[in-house]
Structure 1
């Protein structure tokens, strides 16, 4: 039986949402402290891994309690909700971008956001939107999540019983996809920017981690510096951080980076989830889990704000997508002056946290019992 909700999962999911928002605002100074600046992976890996973890954690309980078909029904219902949200979010995003573009004279935000297809061929764009083939910038994670969730009923029963077998099959698919060109069709680039055929492996690993977390384990008695896996993961994470930081100074990077290592390392594909990206995230996740084994640190005020955002990740993610072009518009109005850039980034963060707080308050309000003992249903 899997354990209950882990606040650490909510915390890191909330942190990933913050990083995604900051990364989506061009020239944002706070975007320099996000995960992508200190390693090969970024918040996208965190988002997908935790999506797999949370999905398996939730629907495996439904599977055990109510059976396979009810679990399938609830998974498909959730996927439908995400699909409807995607359609409305895209419509709202286009309206905001068109408005922002009319206020910014120095840049073409419509082209930068990948909305040219809608301008040149609106009828086809609407069809492509319904088929998840039209995905402007900022919109890629949600369609990926929809496709991965639709595949969950196929693997969930086996994943619960034999997680290693599912991981092995998923790994084979992950390795074959780039070689055989497996991907889904899309407008603009021709294929999905986040290839679901490769990113499914990280989603499955998240689900397997949820299964593993529910299994009894013997306590680790050796210190961290005596654990070879931890030392290897920490070393790889550190080296990846050094290499990533060296990208800021190309001449130094080219001078110190061995040619053999460069040939093995580059290009680092985000579309196909390059192995060095995958290994970096797994190493970073392992080191983090070892350094933060307990849950007590999630009880402080700042951590609680991130946890709350993680609990309402869909709503907060959608708001972040809509706020990013508005923040970009505000910054462009003052020629990207750094005080405005920091202000818009922090304002977006406050609004995202405020939305999560409101949703939490509204949920508690609906759960407040009446005097006759029945819950409120207003």
Structure 2
């Protein structure tokens, strides 16, 4: 007994990450409803990037917390098994969303008209394309981010080996090179039977954002969970975000004079253009290096966002289905204020119910672990990324 190690304090989850991810999930839900007036106020209106970039960057960050640190504490096979199970879970959720969306639209068509853009024409007739959907060769619109996450997560094991073998600078250099090549030649992409241009989120480009998230988590782990605050860099990030806001704000849609400083096309999302990449990195650095952001995440509003962020897969899935029903409702019954209020209030209540239900299950699982000798090792997040 005298030689027993002292008990270590349990890992304290960084609520900034959860709160930021929760906000991103809510904005993704709103952005996927074109008729929703609230999408005038999401981050895509005040920046080159939108919630999708935040989601993928935080996926890399959370993957290191959930799996990267576990490689040093558990057998590699155990950790790889956890990654494999997570990928399978993502795949199952993807298939459930596809089936529900296709079935819903086909049933809805018997009662109200449905525009063709709600379902790709190739999927609108028969089940001939089912095998393409199952093999992720056909990615319907608004159902394309989980396949990207699966691909990135499957590459986490090799990424960890490279980080340990050649170091962070080399890995970042290799990842950036692939991203640059794709930006010069956007034809380099995974095939998508529904889109001749390929996957909407080109994995060869978006892997760079995921890798940056992984590396940021490693750096933050060496500085108490935060990125080092460099005043000059913070000012540069703030200046870039201000420029991005001026360039991206829909001035004419609000009946205002166009104050954009440059005439430029919307930065390409498929290949993660440099404008978008710098935008999300600047935002993330300011949040993850800020003590004020930590305090905001501890407020009631911050904790509410963190509640959504802790259960990202369930919230994303519920949000995607809410998007579908909201679009159908607004298309069939009008976009007046009554429908706007109903759609948004019902959607939020459903998401809140899902988050609270998952949180109760999480708390019950935590309380049952000590009784079964399954205490969570220190340093490992208590819930999945």
TM-score by length of 2: 0.85
The correspondence for 1:82, drawn from 80, 90, 97, is 90
Map of 1:168 onto structure 2: 173
Match of 2:69 among 61, 64, 72: 61
Q: Show the 5 A alignment for 1:1-378.
A: 4-105=12-113, 107-108=114-115, 111-120=116-125, 122-123=127-128, 125-159=129-163, 162-180=167-185, 181-190=187-196, 191-216=198-223, 227-246=231-250, 248=252, 252-253=257-258, 261-262=262-263, 265-293=264-292, 295-368=294-367, 373=371
Query: Bigger CA drift: 286-295 or 53-62?
Result: 286-295
Aligned length: 360
- CA 1:281–1:367: 2 relative to 1, 3 Å: closer
Kindly provide the CA deviation profile for residues 297-342 of structure 1, in whole angstroms up to 9, marking residues without a partner as x.
Answer: 3232222221111111101110111111111222234321123113
SS in 2 for 1:120: coil
- For residues 36 and 65 of structure 1, what CA distance do their matches in structure 2 show? 40
Deviations 1:269-299 (A, max 9, x none): 0000011011111112222334445633323
RMSD (CA atoms)? 2.8
Q: Residues 22 and 308 of structure 2 are in contact (CA less than 8 Å); yes or no, is this contact kept in structure 1?
A: yes
Which ranges of structure 2 fall in alignment gaps of 5 or more residues? Answer: 1-10, 374-385
Tell me if structure 1 keeps the 8 A contact 2:18–2:309. Answer: yes
Q: Give SS of 1:25's match.
A: coil
Deviation of 1:118 (Å): 1.6
Report which of the two has the higher share of helix: 1
Are the equivalent residues in 1 in contact too, given 2:56–2:210 (CA < 8 A)?
yes
Provide the C-alpha distance between the structure 1 equivalents of 2:177 and 2:331, rounded to a whole number of angstroms. 46
How far apart are residue 27 of structure 1 and its match? 1.4
Equivalent pair of 2:71/2:79 in contact (CA under 8 Å):
yes
Q: SS in structure 1 opposite 2:155?
A: helix
Distance in 2, matches of 1:301 and 1:101, equals: 42
CA change 1:241–1:257 in 2 (3 A) is closer
Report the Cα distance in structure 2 between the residues aligned to 1:122 and 1:28, rounded to whole angstroms: 32
Whether the aligned pair in 1 keeps the contact of 2:227 and 2:285 (CA below 8 Å) is no
Asked whether the equivalents of residues 7 and 307 of structure 1 are also in contact (C-alpha less than 8 Å), the reply is yes
Structure 1: gaps (5+ residues): none
Q: Distance in 2 between matches of 1:87 and 1:96?
A: 14
For residues 164 and 300 of structure 1, do their structure 2 counterparts lie closer, same or farther at Cα, with a shift above 3 Å needed? same
> Take 2:297 and 2:304, find their aligned partners in 1: how far apart are those partners?
10
Q: What is the TM-score of this pair, normalised by structure 1? A: 0.87
CA contact (8 A) 2:18 2:306 kept: yes
- Please tell me whether the aligned partners of residues 75 and 150 of structure 1 are also in contact (alpha carbons under 8 angstroms): yes
Aligned pair in 2 of structure 1 residues 251, 350: CA closer, same or farther (>3 Å)?
closer
Shift in alpha-carbon separation, 1:366–1:285, aligned structure 2, 3 A:
closer
Question: Is the alpha carbon distance of 1:290 and 1:153 closer, same or farther for their aligned partners in structure 2, counting shifts above 3 Å?
Answer: closer
